[in-house]
Every structure is written in C-alpha cells, then in structure tokens.
Structure 1
Amino acid sequence: MVTLDQVSVTLDGRQVVDHVSAALGDGVIGLIGPNGAGKSTLIRAIAGLMAYEGVITIDGRPAPLAARERARRIAYLPQGQTIHWPLTVERLVALGRLPHLAPFARPGAVDGVAIAAALERTELTALRDRPIDQLSGGERARVLLARALAVEAPLLLADEPLAALDPSHQIEVMGLLRGEAARGATVIAVLHDLTIAARWCDRLLILNEGRLVADGSPDVVLNAERIAAVYGVTAHLGRSGGAPIVVPLNRVAGSPAADQTRG
C-alpha cells in the first residue's frame, strides 16, 4: 500500500505536483494525463528520488525509506534510460539483485533463479549473452524491464514502460505488469495510450497541471467530457470483446488543453 497525503513538488519555482492525495493498493494503477501534468515527477517522488512536501507512506512506513530497504521494496523503471556500459543482457539484468546481496558478494542460487525468470518472462533468454549495445531500442527497453522484475520488489514503478515498443511487445509488457500484480505487487505505471490504460489497468489516476482530477476504474474515469477537458480532444469510446477502446479524434477548438499542447 502506498498512501499519498497532500503531496506537492516544486521545481524551479513552479508547482509541478499540487497537493495530490490517494491510497494506492494492489493491482495495476495507471497514471495518465497530458504532457507536463506531473506524472513522472510524482512517480519519482514515490521512489524517493526527489524532494516533496506532504506525506508518502509505504506499507504504513513514512517515506523516504533507508536506501537499502528502498532498493529492496521498490523497483523503479525510469523512462528513456541510457545504458553506458556494453554489458551482456544477463549481467545487466543481474544488477536487479544487488539490493539482496551483501557488499562484494556474488549472486547465489536464489538470485540465479530470479534472473532466469526475469529473462524468460521478457523473452530475452535467447539474448542473454548479447551485448546491450547490439540490441534494438525495443530490446533494450525489455532488458531494463527485466532488471526491474529481477528485484522481486512488492512495489514496481514504471515510467512510460511502453516507449519504443511495437504493439506486440506493448501488449507483452502490460501482461507482465499484470502478472506482477497477480503475484501481489503494487504496480504504478505512467502511460499515454488511453486504450492500453483502459484495457490493462485496474485503476486510473488522471493528473492535469499537477492536480489529481479523477481517480477510479477506467470505465468511471474515461468519459468523453473529461477527455475533452483534460486533453483538449474529442474521442470515440467503444468496446471490443468486452474491453474498452478510446480513440482520440480531433482537437477541441479553443480548449485550454489544446492551447497548452500547442504551446
């Protein structure tokens, strides 16, 4: 359980996150909203990576946690992470086990099982000996996800985990996140595709200009009026096979949201 109580973040004199309160439990929770809404900033605050005002608790304990405990309890997948060393896929995924190891200790049998499972779940077993710098952008993204999965943390924070992935691997990654939730983890993911968010998330939080404007199930949160107000677009909302579909259509002329995206 992650609890946010009046959480605010100010950067360069501008309030990027504005008094957000929510109790986030099990399942896949999607953070959605337009660019600049404060989604990535909020997720970094939960991860203990930036200063904030208000109170964040993780399983009832005030954050930020001590560094080692935080590394064990929170797996964080940042957006657009650059890999600077030509490690093999397996060695990079193995870095996810560092929080569980004593200083200078080598991974043991339990760690090996976690690493192998993360590679298998992300369909990277065949690439385990390949240097990272020989992979495509989508393959690298899956390697970074595998490293996060190898931590086996009860809280997984994923900031735009679908960037650079083709549709097939987007679906695969969302299935992996749901699998983590089924195993009891709380998964919080920043997403931009509204259909994917609606189909795969148990709960959605919409941020706009740093404020939480909606919180609930996808069917409750995503309606034409709210999408127009937040994103400045009209949208077609339908269903396919019982699952929701959200297709943005046109900008709403003169809406504040459309003017913001244009600026």
Structure 2
Amino acid sequence: MVRLDRVSVSLGGRHVVEDVSADLSGGVIGLIGPNGAGKSTLVRAVAGLIPSDGAILIEGTPVAALPPRERARRIAYLPQGQSVHWPLTVERLVALGRLPHLAPFARPGAGDAAAIERALTRTELLDLRDRPIDELSGGERARALLARALAVEAPLLLADEPLAALDPAHQIEVMALLRAEAARGATVIAVLHDLTIAARWCDRLLLIDQGRLVADGAPRVVLTADRIGSVYGVSAFVGEAEGQPLIVPLAHH
C-alpha cells in the first residue's frame, strides 16, 4: 500500500533521511531508532507534510500528487505532542477527523456520527465527551487526539510517538487499538521508543539510524543484543517474560 523508493529528506541544509526504501502494507509497523535518527521526519514525509526526494507512493499514487482532501481521507496522522489551541470539547475535537469526508459547509451525517461514536468508545472517552480538551490530563488529551485520528477511518494511520504521556495501562490499550486498526485492514505506522512494546505489538520493525534504514523485519530479527548495542550504544538483555519479548537496556557503552 505504501512504497518508499530511495526517500531522502533535507531540512535546513542537513540530510535527515537518506535513501530509505521499503514496501509497507498491512499490520502494525514500528519505526524505531535513537533520538534524532529521522523517524518523525520520515513519517511527516509519508504524510505529505514536507518535501522529499525519491518516491512515496500511496496505493500507487505519489503522495504529492494527491489533492489535500483525498490525502486526508487516505492518511490519518497523529502528530507528536498534545497541543490543542482551542477549548473544544472532546467530541468536537474528535469530530474534526470527519472533515475530509464532508463537502464544504456540509453538516456531519449519520455515518459521521457513528464514526465519532466508535472512536470515543474505543478510546474510553464517552464519559469525557463534553469536557473541554484544555481541562484534560496529558494522558486523556493524548487519547482524545488518537480518537480524532481513528475517526477518520483511513486505510493508513501514521502515529508519531502515540504513547507519550500515557501510563502503562493506557500504553497497552493504545497499542491494542492500533492492532485493532490493523485488523480492520489499515496499515499502521507508529514511531515508538519502548523496545519491549515495539517487539510485543508490532508485526514488523524498521530500525532507523542517522537517517538510514539499518534493519527491516520481524521484531525478533531486528532487535538483537548486538544491533541494539551498535545503534543505541547500550548493552541490553533480550529475552522473554511469560512468553512475551522483553528488552531491558542495562548500561551505556
């Protein structure tokens, strides 16, 4: 569904992403790597928000060639951070996810209302639907922004650090939601920092280091102790707990 062919991005005269190629279709795909590796920049390029060299194709169409409304219907984007600059209620915020599906000046219909209700239900925000977004905790605000992205019901969901500000229970719930989106048929690309979570919940990992793709494959193939050491500069325990992958950084080299 998403083809990256030698994608490169330069920002401020500096090469941030260099020659990344991959075919991404279905499942939960984790983008991992050290801070400043280029993960968020690559996601923004896939979303069509910044210019890039090479080719980014969404279902065979260059992302830059998609009209903005069509691109917004095909790609749901959850950016990094939880800034909201208007005191919207949670429900009004989530409803913004339906704008790409509406004609200019049209009111949301029954299908839009159902999509909003599904997003609120899945993110456990029904009891907060009438609360102003600026009165929520950081974790609640993060779930509301995820609900807005889910309300789009796009075939491609890009989530940049969706677990920031979330406690462990809600981190698990968000990853379960992303897996449910993939089960619905969407391709989910998420920038993640917790390697155990990435190994447990992702079907595939792309490891980025200094702007380059250094590993691509199943979590158990990508996340070896040697590779973690060479990329992150730490020694790590790589094993299992209750049948689930467990990765614990131990010491900085």
**TM-score range, shorter-chain basis?**
over 0.9
> Shift of the alpha carbon at 1:241?
2.3
Question: Which whole-Å deviations, capped at 9, do the CAs of 1:184-223 have from their partners, x for residues lacking one?
Answer: 0000000000000000000000000000000000000000
Maintained 8 Å contact 2:82/2:138 = no
Alignment of 1:150-161 (within 5 A): 150-161=151-162
Are the counterparts in 1 of residues 123 and 147 from structure 2 also a CA contact under 8 Å? yes
Counterpart residue type for residue 120 of structure 1 = T
Name structure 1 gaps, 5 residues minimum. Answer: 253-263
CA contact (8 A) 2:7 2:17 kept: yes
How far apart, in 2, do the equivalents of 1:81 and 1:242 lie? 34
Q: Identity rate of aligned residues, in percent? A: 76
SS of the equivalent of 1:184 reads coil
Could you tell me which residue of structure 2 aligns to residue 257 of structure 1?
none
Tell me what 1:66 maps to: 67
**Aligned partner of 1:116: which letter?**
E
Alignment correspondent of 1:76: 77
Runs in 1 of length 4+ with deviation above 2 angstroms?
none
Q: Which residue of 2 aligns with 1:260?
A: none
Alignment partner, residue 129 of structure 1: 130
The TM-score, its normalising length taken from structure 1, stands at 0.95
The aligned length equals 252
- Whole-angstrom CA distance in 2 between matches of 1:117 and 1:63: 28
Structure 1 counterpart of 2:236 = 235
1:208 maps to 209
Give yes or no for contact 2:29–2:202 (8 Å, CA) kept in 1: yes
Gaps of 5+ in 2: none
Which residue is equivalent to 1:49?
49
Quote how far apart the aligned CAs of 1:87 are.
0.6
Q: Give the Cα–Cα distance (whole angstroms) in 2 for the partners of residues 101 and 18 of structure 1.
A: 37
Task: Confirm or deny that 1:185 pairs with 2:182.
Answer: no
CA distance in 2, matches of 1:180, 1:146: 12
With structure 2 as the length reference, what TM-score do the two structures score? 0.99
Q: Are 1:91 and 2:114 matched, yes or no?
A: no
What residue number does 1:31 align with? Answer: 31
Whichever residue aligns with residue 149 of structure 2, its letter is A
Deviations 1:88-113 (Å, cap 9, x if unpaired)? 00000000000000111111100000
AA of the residue aligned to 1:212: L
Q: Which deviates the most, 55-64 or 221-230?
A: 55-64
Give how far 1:81 is off.
3.7
